[in-house]
Structure 1
Amino acid sequence: MARAQYPGDEGAVPFVRRADEGDRFNMFGGLTFVKATGEETAGAYGLIEQRANAGMQTPLHVHHAEDELWVVVDGRLSVHVDGETMDVGPGDVAFGPRGKPHAFRVEEDASRYYIVRNAGGESFFEAVGDPAHDLSLPDPTPTDAQLERLNDVLETYELEILGPPPFEA
């Protein structure tokens, strides 16, 4: 019996991207590292690492074409998916399926987490973020320029902003 073919079977080349390596962007108050691209994984997925302090959060939004998976390494997130808010801590995984409204907020300073997205989704962070020249964490509020770039790429990434973050102050 032949094994099924999966994305990544053809064209992927092994690599190691060390801690603090990868293209870096300041994005919506988080320091983002691109750890693996869809191109590098031959279309299997994209992986980013984010580091942020308490208060960094996303608006309520929906991805119409991609899923999102969060893996918390350090700190704590509140992840809101389809009307339910979950507390996600070290070692925990949360999943936001495509088509489901979601948002997340960083609850502890020095939080670190990975986000797995469909291949190509990692390019969103370069399209909207600002190049990060060092490892310091940015202010947890998105800049006006980031918000403008976000509006410019909503259609490209099949992303819809539904409203403000759904978290209590």
Structure 2
Amino acid sequence: MVRRDGEGVARLWGKGSVVTTKLTADETGGALGVTHFDAVRGERAPRHTHTREDEIFIIEGGEVHLTVGDATETVRGAGVLFLPRGIPHSYLVESETARFYVITTPGGFERFFSETGYPVRPGRTAPVGEAWSVNRTTEFAERLGLGVVWGK
């Protein structure tokens, strides 16, 4: 299966980023899920821990500040980062824009982005404030049974 730029299930996310699900667990026999971020400055994931899947970030460009456990690093340009399950982590986009893939294995976590985000429509931006909150994303993660522990 091939998914090119502009293909996949795109959703408006957080601060106004576009997150596109490229491959789902259903399409890979459960092996993995692939999501692409066209992220904007300030896009972030608060500190959280995955209990079921490992994550791989493949950063294509931009500046992304990452915290994994007690270590922090800023990737400028391109880079790859492995986030094993059970290790708390977070990220913050510090450049005007950043492009990166998030691969989760096993698959299934990609549903979080496709179901929590808002449909992409010309001229529409992601809601801010109460409409987009940590509480909202926490509720979706719990409803989907994703095994995410927030803030630890």
User: Are 1:58 and 2:45 counterparts?
Assistant: yes
| Aligned residue runs from structure 1 range 80-95, under 5 A | 80-95=67-82
Tell me the residue number matched to 2:112.
124
TM-score, length basis structure 2: 0.86
Gaps in structure 2 of 5+ consecutive residues: none
Tell me the residue number matched to 1:69.
56
Gaps in structure 1 of 5+ consecutive residues: 1-14, 164-169
The number of aligned residues is 147
TM-score, length basis structure 1: 0.78
Q: Which has the higher helix share?
A: 2
Whether the 8 Å CA contact 1:70–1:93 is kept in 2: the answer is: yes
CA deviations 1:135-162 (Å, max 9, x no partner) are x7957x8552343432323331111111
CA deviations 1:47-85 (Å, max 9, x no partner) are 000011221111111111111111111111111000111
User: Are 1:39 and 2:26 counterparts?
Assistant: yes
Tell me the residue number matched to 2:151.
162
Quick one: distance in 2 between partners of 1:138 and 1:95?
31
Whether the 8 Å CA contact 2:20–2:114 is kept in 1: the answer is: no
Tell me the residue number matched to 1:9.
none
- Of the two, which has the highest radius of gyration? 1
Quick one: distance in 2 between partners of 1:84 and 1:97?
14
Identical amino acids, percent of aligned pairs: 30
Q: 1:95 to 1:142 in 2, by over 3 A?
A: farther
Q: Which has the higher strand share?
A: 2
* Amino acid in structure 1 at the alignment position of 2:78: G
* Amino acid in structure 2 at the alignment position of 1:123: R
Quick one: distance in 1 between partners of 2:151 and 2:78?
29
Q: Secondary structure at the match of 1:44?
A: coil
